[in-house]
Amino acid sequence: MKRLILWAAVIFAALTAKADEGMWLLKELNSESIARMKELGFTFPAEQLYDEANPSLKDAVVIFGGGCTGVAVSDEGLIFTNHHCGYGAIQKLSAVEHDYLRDGFVAKRRSDELPADGLTVSFLKSMTDVTDLIVPHLLSPLNEIQREKMADSLSGALTAQYEEDPFIHARIVPFYSRNRYYMVLYDLFRDVRLVAAPPSSVGKFGGDTDNWMWPRHTGDFSVFRVYADGDNRPAVCDSGNVPYRPKYVVPVSLKGVTEGDCAMTVGYPGNTQRYMSSRGIRQRMESENSPRIEVRGVKQSIWWDAMTKNDTVRIKYAGKYAGSSNYWKNSQGMNRALAALEVISEKERLEARLAEWIKGSPARQARYGETLLTLEQAYGASGEPALYMTFFLETFNDGIELIRLANIILQFDSEGTGEEKQSFISERLSNPYKNYDPSLDRKVLSALMRLYAERVPERYHPDIYRKVKEVFGGDYDLYADWLFSNSRFTSFDSLLDLLETADTQTLTGDPAMELALSVTDMGYELSGQMMPAYEKMLRGERELMAALMEMDAERTFYPDANFTQRMSYGTVCGYRPRDAVRYDYYTTSQGVLEKQKPGDPEFNVQEYILDAVRSGDYGRYADGQGLMRVNFLSNNDITGGNSGSPVLNGRGELVGLAFDGNWESLSGDILFERNMQRVISVDIRYVLYMIDRVMGASHIVEELRLAEI
């Protein structure tokens, strides 16, 4: 069943195209949006934004990996994206003896490009409205859970024709709180190779300290190449493949941006909840964000301490730490921003207006009379279970790695053929164990089990807690020592020996599997506690969306983000975060020199990079004053998943890569606040300067379509 999206109420008067707000489907841009774009200065032809029959901008903006965006910038398949989007692939290719995270990487020749095993790039083929093939079959006698299952079943039938094709990815995606459905098709490229990545001192400059903050001085970029077969079709990785020839390539501007310039982003925003009710927002803050902050803070502290002391551990955990920390800090910023903007009070006023509108007509009362009450009951009944569920998920599903490993092993068929067993090991187990440190996980297990016991009532403790109490006197350190000393799952080599000889009974008897099974049982129990409220939320969401769109029929509603291709438009601008403080819209390399700290894991910069910056020799990449601009701000509407999105000027030329948002507007998944919400992008001239002048890869720049005026 798809993840619950908690819709509830529309955002005040800002929900119109005039507000420069919205993550719009390129295929469905309305005349109002197009007129507003032209008013801001866009001259790029609207008909070339999205066209399934002819090359268009939609053909150049890709899904990079499983959760980022990238852009095609050359006729030979070059893809620009963020460093943090390529981080996992760079980490997998790194080792202590060739540490591409620390030192960066450049392929001097095509033959030097490194295949990124498991990395994919998806090009959008088409979007087709299939609402009429799904919604009429969701008859009213069905409850909301049954509706979801029926919709999933119908979706599966529609995409079944593509299941056997490894190079086409088909999705049925719900919009407007499951009132509308699209089939989205992608060409899936599986031969993707690393071309260039700056050192982390550039690509991750500032680390967690600067994450979500402005001013920023981060060169967050990496370069990959997509390969295809001789007929320009997707193919598995093979030495005979050739660079892919994209249908559309985005030209790169050397002119840069100035304040007030129009800016457009196109990408794949992951998830917003702009229509969430006041009760839903409160639950998000108290029952999701707050426990997530606490649990991840404990886990990350243990990881970080080990990473700063050991290069092997640092490389293994770099990607995992970055992913965990990003959402951890986001949750902190979101709670602070939602409180500062008094969003809950605003939503309560909107809900009061909606209630009065419903009362104004017997027909509306018949359709929506129970909607707000349904949501009130759902959130009221689920507050504590949701809190405990978040503690549970963050502790056992996302915290203790050994449990995840045991859950993978649980799917191992001990009676399968030798080929089936080997395939399972190579495809499912080898990489997780490559990036696993059992001594570190032992510390995390002890700390998180203790925290869970302190925060969650005993009735929601997995049965393993009884064993810890009876056998180990409630000492989580003793239990962790025993488990990691006696489990065969903590070492890949010992696990391989076990898998060759063991039957299912032996595997399930391992101490790590005992823990995992105990956790699974409690997970089902907690899910059961949430199910009645979940059914009410589903029904309330669907009805409420319809009510809001009917009440404010004159408004232009855009659908919440759901990792489909979207466009947002705005302008380059700074902002005023608080009284007497004014942030400029760009930063320069001078800030790198001011922030850099020798030996600091977040701000250390190699001397050769500092020397290049100090020289002031920026060539054609300098701005009109001879300065090297690093990052800039715009007021586009983006969220997670947009990382790596191209930022385009009015002519559709690449001026930057979006990589972050600002701290003051981390309420953005729930509320677009026009005066505060800003996108932080790396200036494309800084990207080219680093590639050309610092990394010595002028051949990459020579592939690009450069626009100098």
663 closest CA partner among 590, 583, 589: 583
Length of the chain: 709
d(CA 354, CA 352): 5
3-state DSSP of 643-673: CCCEEECCCCCEEEEEEEECHHHCCCCCCCC
At 234, the amino acid letter reads P
Query: Are the C-beta atoms of 194 and 105 separated by less than 8 Å?
Result: yes
How big, in percent rounded to 5, are the helix, strand and coil portions of the chain? 50, 15, 35
- Let me know if 169 is a catalytic residue: no
Four-CA torsion 261, 262, 266, 267, nearest 10 degrees: 50
Tell me the DSSP string of 610-626. Answer: HHHHHHT--GGGS-TTS
d(CA 77, CA 94): 23
Query: Are the C-beta atoms of 9 and 548 separated by less than 8 Å?
Result: yes
| DSSP code at position 682 | E
- Let me know if 220 is a catalytic residue: yes
Four-CA torsion 464, 469, 470, 473, nearest 10 degrees: 140
The first and second tokens of residue 398, run together, are: 């996302």
3-state DSSP of 427-482: HHHHHHHHCCCHHHHHHHHHHHHHHHHHHCCHHHCCCHHHHHHHHHCCCHHHHHHH
Query: Are the C-beta atoms of 457 and 422 separated by less than 8 Å?
Result: no
| Residue corresponding to tokens 């507007």 | 665
CA–chain centroid gap for 511, Å, is 34
d(CA 85, CA 685): 19
Positive or negative, the Cα torsion across 334, 336, 342, 345? Answer: positive
Active-site option among 94, 177, 643, 667: 643
The first and second tokens of residue 580, run together, are: 């007497």
| Helix, strand, or coil (residue 517) | helix
Cis peptide before 215, with omega less than 30 degrees from 0? yes
| Residue corresponding to tokens 């800039």 | 632
- Let me know if 84 is a catalytic residue: yes
Given the DSSP bridges, would you call strands 252-253 and 706-707 parallel, antiparallel or unpaired? Answer: parallel
Dihedral class, residue 662 (left if φ above 0, else alpha if ψ from -120 to 50, else beta): beta
The first and second tokens of residue 530, run together, are: 């949430």
Active-site option among 220, 441, 560, 637: 220
Query: In b/e form, how buried is each residue of 15-25, taking b as 16+ CB within 10 angstroms?
Result: bbbebbbbbbb
Query: Are the C-beta atoms of 646 and 275 separated by less than 8 Å?
Result: no
d(CA 125, CA 423): 31
Active-site option among 20, 33, 59, 84: 84
Dihedral class, residue 256 (left if φ above 0, else alpha if ψ from -120 to 50, else beta): left
The first and second tokens of residue 133, run together, are: 């093939």
Query: Are the C-beta atoms of 99 and 108 separated by less than 8 Å?
Result: no
**Which positions are catalytic?**
84, 220, 643
